[in-house]
């Protein structure tokens, strides 16, 4: 039996393969190649999607964490938000330094002398906005009297206490109300804004612009790109009440399409109080 089978195989090899047999082999090889290529292509697509998703998540974590840190350093009642067509911004005044005032001209008193208890005084503080008992954003951004430019001259107190400074303002001033804890805040020279642009799907950070009674959308300054592939941003500012401090709710949606499921929801508590 075996010699006959071997003889037939030898005769087959000598005659070659028929066209039908070659066609069947080619079809089988094509099917095999298609399956292998599809498997490899699917793996490559999954890897590319995972890499792109990880990159978007890294960007989103960066902007979310930085926004949280900066909001927690915002002056009390300085946070405000505004919406326009495909544009949404949140603005706040960063705190440069804070302390307790020992003497300040509070209504009905008018004067130009401030005695401030503040460690590590720096000459660069002169010229910065100083606010006492801001109760609403207009006390920071508008001329309500709660905020004044710390322009003038300063010296150590006569008792030699380097933690206490006496500042002579360039002009007389009267703050509307006393702070219950006699707190004062020195604000940054410029407010900060984070703005979502729905057209380009981005979040940009703006600084180096002037305080304004009307919130700019966006500010007239060069913005730094913080994140791309942004689908949706919502800001909600809840002012302080007797039982809690101010709270900012931030909702961010990232991804390549509006159907993306990459969401960040934050509730940022503002620790600073007037």
The confidence band for 22, taking pLDDT boundaries of 50, 70 and 90, is: confident
State the pLDDT at residue 6. 60
pTM of the model: 0.78
CA torsion sign for 42, 47, 48, 54 is: positive
Give the mean pLDDT of 206-228: 92
Q: Is the pLDDT of residue 16 over 90?
A: no
pLDDT digits (tens, 9 = 90+) for 71-85: 999 999 999 999 988
Question: Distance (Å, rounded) from C-alpha 152 to C-alpha 149?
Answer: 9
Q: What is the pLDDT of residues 103-120, one digit of tens each?
A: 999 999 999 999 999 888
Are 178 and 92 within 8 A, CB to CB? no
Q: Is the pLDDT of residue 53 over 70?
A: no
Separation CA 155–CA 121 (nearest Å): 10
């Amino acid at each position: 039996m075996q010699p006959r089978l071997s003889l037939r195989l030898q005769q087959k090899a000598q005659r070659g393969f028929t066209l039908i047999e070659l066609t069947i082999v080619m079809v089988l090889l094509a099917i095999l190649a298609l399956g292998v290529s599809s498997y490899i292509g699917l793996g490559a697509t999954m890897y590319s999607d995972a890499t792109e998703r990880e990159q978007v998540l890294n960007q989103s974590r960066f902007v979310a964490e930085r926004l949280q840190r900066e909001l927690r350093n915002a002056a009390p009642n300085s946070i405000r938000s505004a919406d326009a067509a495909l544009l949404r911004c949140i603005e706040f005044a960063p705190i440069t330094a804070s302390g307790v005032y020992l003497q300040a001209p509070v209504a009905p008193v008018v004067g130009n002398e401030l005695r401030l208890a503040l460690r590590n005084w720096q000459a660069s503080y002169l010229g910065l906005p100083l606010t006492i008992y801001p109760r609403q954003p207009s006390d920071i951004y508008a001329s309500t009297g709660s905020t004044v430019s710390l322009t003038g001259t300063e010296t150590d107190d006569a008792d030699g206490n380097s933690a206490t400074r006496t500042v002579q303002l360039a002009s007389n001033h009267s703050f509307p109300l006393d702070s219950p804890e006699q707190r004062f805040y020195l604000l940054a020279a410029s407010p900060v804004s984070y703005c979502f642009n729905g057209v380009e799907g981005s979040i940009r950070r703006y600084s180096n612009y002037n305080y304004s009674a009307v919130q700019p959308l966006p500010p007239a300054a060069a913005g730094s790109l913080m994140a791309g592939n942004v689908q949706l941003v919502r800001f909600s500012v809840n002012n302080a009440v007797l039982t809690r401090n101010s709270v900012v709710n931030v909702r961010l949606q990232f991804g390549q399409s509006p159907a993306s499921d990459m969401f960040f929801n934050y509730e940022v508590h503002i620790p600073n109080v007037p």
